[in-house]
Protein backbone atom coordinates (compact mmCIF):
# COMPACT_ATOMS: atom_id res chain seq x y z
CA UNK A 1 0.00 0.00 0.00
CA UNK A 2 1.34 3.43 -0.99
CA UNK A 3 0.35 6.99 -0.13
CA UNK A 4 -1.77 7.71 -3.21
CA UNK A 5 -4.11 4.87 -2.21
CA UNK A 6 -4.68 6.37 1.25
CA UNK A 7 -5.32 10.01 0.37
CA UNK A 8 -8.51 11.34 1.95
CA UNK A 9 -10.85 13.70 0.12
CA UNK A 10 -12.67 14.55 3.36
CA UNK A 11 -10.23 17.19 4.56
CA UNK A 12 -9.69 20.48 2.76
CA UNK A 13 -6.33 22.25 3.19
CA UNK A 14 -6.09 25.72 4.65
CA UNK A 15 -5.42 28.81 2.54
CA UNK A 16 -3.25 31.71 3.65
CA UNK A 17 -6.40 33.88 3.59
CA UNK A 18 -8.15 31.70 6.17
CA UNK A 19 -8.30 33.22 9.64
CA UNK A 20 -7.01 31.50 12.73
CA UNK A 21 -10.60 31.08 13.90
CA UNK A 22 -11.60 29.40 10.63
CA UNK A 23 -8.57 27.11 10.85
CA UNK A 24 -9.44 26.07 14.41
CA UNK A 25 -13.07 25.44 13.41
CA UNK A 26 -11.94 23.13 10.61
CA UNK A 27 -9.64 21.27 12.99
CA UNK A 28 -12.41 20.82 15.53
CA UNK A 29 -14.88 19.63 12.89
CA UNK A 30 -12.37 17.05 11.62
CA UNK A 31 -11.00 16.22 15.10
CA UNK A 32 -7.45 17.11 14.03
CA UNK A 33 -4.65 19.09 15.60
CA UNK A 34 -2.87 19.86 12.31
CA UNK A 35 -3.81 20.95 8.78
CA UNK A 36 -1.69 21.75 5.72
CA UNK A 37 -1.52 25.26 4.25
CA UNK A 38 -1.63 25.29 0.46
CA UNK A 39 -1.16 28.15 -2.02
CA UNK A 40 -2.82 26.98 -5.25
CA UNK A 41 -1.02 23.63 -5.60
CA UNK A 42 2.06 24.54 -3.55
CA UNK A 43 2.37 23.02 -0.10
CA UNK A 44 3.60 25.71 2.29
CA UNK A 45 3.71 23.49 5.37
CA UNK A 46 1.55 22.16 8.17
CA UNK A 47 0.18 24.36 10.95
CA UNK A 48 -0.71 23.10 14.42
CA UNK A 49 -3.57 24.01 16.72
CA UNK A 50 -1.07 25.19 19.35
CA UNK A 51 0.64 27.42 16.80
CA UNK A 52 -2.64 29.12 15.90
CA UNK A 53 -3.53 29.72 19.54
CA UNK A 54 -0.40 31.84 19.92
CA UNK A 55 -1.75 34.40 17.43
CA UNK A 56 -4.75 36.67 16.94
CA UNK A 57 -7.57 34.44 15.76
CA UNK A 58 -9.29 37.16 13.70
CA UNK A 59 -6.21 37.61 11.47
CA UNK A 60 -5.41 35.56 8.34
CA UNK A 61 -2.93 32.78 9.01
CA UNK A 62 -0.84 34.07 6.11
CA UNK A 63 0.03 37.07 8.30
CA UNK A 64 1.30 34.87 11.15
CA UNK A 65 4.94 34.37 11.92
CA UNK A 66 4.92 30.59 11.79
CA UNK A 67 7.28 27.73 12.46
CA UNK A 68 5.54 25.25 10.19
CA UNK A 69 6.23 21.56 9.98
CA UNK A 70 7.55 20.78 6.50
CA UNK A 71 7.10 17.03 6.78
CA UNK A 72 5.35 15.36 3.85
CA UNK A 73 5.30 12.11 1.91
CA UNK A 74 5.34 11.47 -1.80
CA UNK A 75 2.44 9.72 -3.48
CA UNK A 76 4.64 6.66 -4.11
CA UNK A 77 5.87 6.29 -0.50
CA UNK A 78 5.01 3.06 1.31
CA UNK A 79 2.64 2.98 4.30
CA UNK A 80 5.58 2.29 6.65
CA UNK A 81 7.23 5.53 5.52
CA UNK A 82 3.95 7.37 6.18
CA UNK A 83 3.77 5.97 9.71
CA UNK A 84 7.39 6.93 10.38
CA UNK A 85 6.85 10.52 9.20
CA UNK A 86 3.73 10.92 11.35
CA UNK A 87 5.49 9.56 14.42
CA UNK A 88 8.78 11.42 13.93
CA UNK A 89 6.99 14.76 13.55
CA UNK A 90 4.16 14.13 16.08
CA UNK A 91 1.50 14.95 13.48
CA UNK A 92 -2.15 13.91 13.22
CA UNK A 93 -2.03 14.27 9.42
CA UNK A 94 0.66 14.11 6.76
CA UNK A 95 0.42 15.99 3.41
CA UNK A 96 1.01 14.10 0.16
CA UNK A 97 2.77 15.58 -2.89
CA UNK A 98 3.36 14.25 -6.39
CA UNK A 99 6.63 13.96 -8.33
CA UNK A 100 6.33 17.66 -9.32
CA UNK A 101 5.84 18.57 -5.64
CA UNK A 102 2.21 19.56 -6.15
CA UNK A 103 -0.14 19.06 -3.21
CA UNK A 104 -2.41 16.04 -3.76
CA UNK A 105 -4.18 15.69 -0.41
CA UNK A 106 -3.48 14.39 3.04
CA UNK A 107 -3.50 11.21 5.09
CA UNK A 108 -4.78 11.32 8.65
CA UNK A 109 -3.91 9.07 11.54
CA UNK A 110 -7.52 7.89 11.48
CA UNK A 111 -7.10 6.81 7.84
CA UNK A 112 -4.11 4.70 8.84
CA UNK A 113 -5.96 3.15 11.79
CA UNK A 114 -8.79 2.12 9.45
CA UNK A 115 -6.26 0.73 6.98
CA UNK A 116 -4.54 -1.36 9.63
CA UNK A 117 -7.85 -2.46 11.12
CA UNK A 118 -8.86 -3.86 7.74
CA UNK A 119 -5.43 -5.27 6.93
CA UNK A 120 -2.92 -7.75 8.34
CA UNK A 121 -5.70 -10.25 9.19
CA UNK A 122 -6.92 -8.27 12.21
CA UNK A 123 -10.47 -9.35 11.44
CA UNK A 124 -9.60 -13.02 11.07
CA UNK A 125 -10.31 -15.23 14.13
CA UNK A 126 -7.27 -16.66 15.85
CA UNK A 127 -4.82 -16.29 18.72
CA UNK A 128 -1.85 -14.09 19.60
CA UNK A 129 1.61 -15.22 20.70
CA UNK A 130 4.39 -12.87 21.78
CA UNK A 131 7.95 -14.21 21.71
CA UNK A 132 11.08 -12.63 23.19
CA UNK A 133 14.11 -13.40 21.05
CA UNK A 134 17.77 -12.39 20.76
CA UNK A 135 17.89 -10.10 17.76
CA UNK A 136 20.64 -12.04 16.01
CA UNK A 137 18.68 -15.29 16.44
CA UNK A 138 15.41 -14.05 14.97
CA UNK A 139 14.14 -16.11 12.03
CA UNK A 140 10.54 -15.70 10.92
CA UNK A 141 10.88 -18.66 8.56
CA UNK A 142 11.84 -20.93 11.47
CA UNK A 143 8.94 -19.68 13.61
CA UNK A 144 6.61 -20.18 10.66
CA UNK A 145 7.85 -23.74 10.15
CA UNK A 146 7.18 -24.56 13.81
CA UNK A 147 3.66 -23.09 13.64
CA UNK A 148 2.90 -24.87 10.37
CA UNK A 149 4.11 -28.18 11.84
CA UNK A 150 1.10 -27.90 14.18
CA UNK A 151 -1.32 -27.46 11.25
CA UNK A 152 -1.60 -23.71 11.78
CA UNK A 153 -0.74 -20.64 9.73
CA UNK A 154 0.74 -17.26 10.72
CA UNK A 155 -1.76 -14.63 9.59
CA UNK A 156 0.37 -11.63 10.52
CA UNK A 157 3.49 -10.70 12.47
CA UNK A 158 5.05 -7.62 14.05
CA UNK A 159 8.56 -7.00 15.32
CA UNK A 160 9.43 -4.48 18.05
CA UNK A 161 12.82 -3.66 19.55
CA UNK A 162 13.13 -3.64 23.33
CA UNK A 163 14.98 -0.47 24.38
CA UNK A 164 18.59 -0.74 25.57
CA UNK A 165 18.72 -4.48 24.89
CA UNK A 166 19.56 -6.82 22.06
CA UNK A 167 16.10 -8.40 22.37
CA UNK A 168 13.14 -8.15 20.04
CA UNK A 169 9.51 -9.00 20.68
CA UNK A 170 7.88 -10.95 17.86
CA UNK A 171 4.10 -10.83 17.91
CA UNK A 172 2.40 -13.39 15.69
CA UNK A 173 -1.25 -14.03 15.00
CA UNK A 174 -2.17 -17.61 14.11
CA UNK A 175 -5.40 -18.92 12.69
CA UNK A 176 -6.27 -21.27 15.57
CA UNK A 177 -8.05 -20.61 18.86
CA UNK A 178 -6.49 -23.66 20.56
CA UNK A 179 -2.72 -23.04 20.59
CA UNK A 180 -1.38 -25.23 23.41
CA UNK A 181 0.39 -27.50 20.92
CA UNK A 182 1.97 -24.51 19.19
CA UNK A 183 3.23 -23.11 22.51
CA UNK A 184 4.75 -26.46 23.47
CA UNK A 185 6.49 -26.75 20.10
CA UNK A 186 7.93 -23.24 20.40
CA UNK A 187 9.20 -24.03 23.90
CA UNK A 188 10.85 -27.23 22.63
CA UNK A 189 12.85 -25.02 20.28
CA UNK A 190 13.85 -22.81 23.24
CA UNK A 191 11.65 -19.86 22.33
CA UNK A 192 10.73 -17.63 25.28
CA UNK A 193 6.97 -17.04 25.28
CA UNK A 194 6.32 -13.63 26.76
CA UNK A 195 2.54 -13.71 26.38
CA UNK A 196 -0.22 -15.61 24.64
CA UNK A 197 -3.98 -15.36 24.48
CA UNK A 198 -6.94 -16.10 22.30
CA UNK A 199 -8.84 -13.12 20.97
CA UNK A 200 -11.98 -14.10 22.92
CA UNK A 201 -9.99 -14.08 26.18
CA UNK A 202 -8.46 -10.73 25.28
CA UNK A 203 -11.80 -9.08 24.55
CA UNK A 204 -13.40 -10.63 27.64
CA UNK A 205 -10.60 -9.07 29.70
CA UNK A 206 -11.14 -5.69 28.02
CA UNK A 207 -14.88 -5.90 28.77
CA UNK A 208 -14.20 -6.71 32.43
CA UNK A 209 -11.88 -3.71 32.70
CA UNK A 210 -14.41 -1.46 30.99
CA UNK A 211 -17.19 -2.63 33.33
CA UNK A 212 -14.95 -2.01 36.35
CA UNK A 213 -14.15 1.50 35.11
CA UNK A 214 -17.85 2.28 34.58
CA UNK A 215 -18.65 1.01 38.08
CA UNK A 216 -15.91 3.20 39.52
CA UNK A 217 -17.08 6.29 37.63
CA UNK A 218 -20.65 5.79 38.80
CA UNK A 219 -19.66 5.66 42.48
pLDDT given for residue 210 in this prediction: 57
**Where does residue 52 rank: exposed (0-12), middle (13-18), buried (19+ CB within 10 A)?**
buried
Q: What are the tens digits of pLDDT across the range 60-103?
A: 998 988 778 899 999 999 888 998 899 899 999 999 999 999 99
Domain extent listing, the chain: 3-116, 127-207
Q: What percent of the chain has pLDDT over 90?
A: 61
Q: What are the tens digits of pLDDT across the range 15-62?
A: 999 999 999 999 999 889 999 999 999 999 999 999 999 999 999 998
The pLDDT of residue 130 is above 90: yes
pTM of this prediction exceeds 0.75:
no
Binning pLDDT at 50, 70 and 90, where does residue 119 land? low
pLDDT given for residue 69 in this prediction: 86
Distance between terminal CA atoms of the chain? 47
Strand extents, DSSP E, 12-126: 34-39, 42-48, 73-74, 93-97, 103-108
pLDDT given for residue 33 in this prediction: 93
The pLDDT of residue 180 is above 80: yes
The fold adopted by the segment(s) 127-207 is VC0802-like (3.30.2130)
If you classify domain 3-116 with CATH, what class do you get?
alpha beta
Alpha carbon 197 to its chain centroid, in Å, reads: 22
pLDDT given for residue 200 in this prediction: 58
The pLDDT of residue 219 is above 50: no
State the Cα–Cα distance between residues 40 and 127, nearest whole angstrom.
Answer: 50
Amino acid sequence: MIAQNLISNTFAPLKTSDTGEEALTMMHVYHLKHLPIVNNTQLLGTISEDNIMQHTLEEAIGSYSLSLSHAYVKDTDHVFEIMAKLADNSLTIIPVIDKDENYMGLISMEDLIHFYANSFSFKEPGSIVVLEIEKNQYSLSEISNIVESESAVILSSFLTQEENTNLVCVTIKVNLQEISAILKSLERYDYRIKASFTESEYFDDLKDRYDSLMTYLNV
